[in-house]
Amino acid sequence: MAKQQNICIAGAGTIGTALGNVLAVKENLNIQLLSIEKEVVDDINSKGINTQYFPQIRLHQRLRATLDISTLRSSDIVFLAIPSVVVVPYVNSVKEYLNPDALLINLAKGFGSNNETIIDILKKTVPNQVCTLKGPTFARELINQMPTAMTLGADAEAVFLQMKQIFESTTIHIDFTKDVIGVEMLSILKNIYAITIGIVDAHFDSPNLRFMIFTRAFNEMRHILLRLGGKQETMFRYCGIGDFGLTALNDLSRNRTLGLLIGKGFFTDDISGKVVLEGRIAAGIISERLKAMQVPESDYFMLNELIKIFSGGYNIKRFIGNLLNNDSLVTDSNI
């Protein structure tokens, strides 16, 4: 009989609830959603429904929710299913409650404080083993039991074997890499370039053009990834081309939707300062990092064009023409 394990999912939003619902089918797993929203906790425990995030979905009866952070003391695995900007402050606020032997798994896609990856910061913040789990995953699909794939980035293969057992006999499939920085960076880069694809699709509903730009974007992501310390082969994991394809080509994607709005002319000066989607924030951070590294701007031409839009005063009609006129794909000899 499989060993009983206690799993805490910090965050009872869409992805946390969906993940918890998938894992709750396994009788050897005790799943707790740890939330700060009393109404959400009460609804899950009393009605079996997360009325705020999935009002039409009946949750598994074994899925429970709590407001009590002391549940972390007995947790063997802690999934961090909260927005990227609050992951590090949250962990700092609860670290005294963490079981020191617990595995921490970051699900958030974005930078932490000081423009470092969340994993890099957590490794300096807590003694726990930390890893990252990213892939082409819409929460709505996940909670509806659709087969879903993710990449586990961890320093040790033993973590992959542990997680493979956790997800065994569920709808979640995982692959593995030790390129943790690559997994983290790709989860950030795909949001940026999904905006670009959205802009293109807003102007032209053309499969030829869409996949021409998609290919160029994927290539630019590759060169940036290598500059930032990731490995090329990670591009072909679920966290790479899988997550980029999902985010760039599906209208459920928020960053693609931002691109569509920009392309249709709805991104005005009045609202531009209020948009805080991951892609927009990350674009500026990565551009500044590449400049500091003195990377040639030809390596990230598409990224620079997107930043010009966010900066204002850019004629959006020139955007696609500029991309098309830039045929110089960087060769590996320049890296």
Q: Lowest-pLDDT range, 135-144, 255-264, 271-280, 320-329?
A: 271-280
Q: What pLDDT does residue 75 have?
A: 97
Matching residue, tokens 């009866």: 61
Q: What mean pLDDT is predicted for residues 311-322?
A: 82
* Confidence band for 267, pLDDT divided at 50, 70 and 90: low
* Confidence band for 2, pLDDT divided at 50, 70 and 90: low
Phi/psi of residue 287, nearest 5 degrees: -60, -45
Delimiting residues of CATH 1.10.1040.10 domain(s) in the chain: 181-334
- Does position 278 have pLDDT exceeding 90, yes or no? no
* Confidence band for 333, pLDDT divided at 50, 70 and 90: very low
Confirm or reject CATH 3.40.50.720 for domain 5-178, answering yes or no.
yes
- Does position 114 have pLDDT exceeding 70, yes or no? yes
- Does position 286 have pLDDT exceeding 50, yes or no? yes
Q: What pLDDT does residue 335 have?
A: 47
Query: DSSP letter at 268?
Result: -
pLDDT per residue over 159-212, tens digit each? Answer: 999 999 999 999 999 999 999 999 999 999 999 999 999 999 999 989 999 999
d(CA 239, CA 185): 10
**145 SS3 class:** coil
Q: Strands of 148-153's sheet, edge to edge?
A: 64-66, 29-34, 5-10, 77-80, 103-106, 129-134, 148-153, 172-177
Torsion of CA 99, 101, 107, 111, to 10 degrees: 90
The superfamily CATH assigns to domain 181-334 is N-(1-d-carboxylethyl)-l-norvaline Dehydrogenase; domain 2 (1.10.1040.10)
Q: What mean pLDDT is predicted for residues 259-266?
A: 87
Q: What pLDDT does residue 1 have?
A: 55
CB neighbourhood size of 287 (10 A): 19
Cβ-Cβ contacts under 8 Å for 54 (sequence gap 6 or more): 14, 17, 18, 143
Q: What pLDDT does residue 246 have?
A: 97
Q: What pLDDT does residue 269 have?
A: 55
Q: Is 70 exposed, middle or buried (0-12, 13-18, 19+ CB in 10 A)?
A: exposed
Q: Lowest-pLDDT range, 116-125, 144-153, 255-264, 268-277?
A: 268-277
Delimiting residues of CATH 3.40.50.720 domain(s) in the chain: 5-178
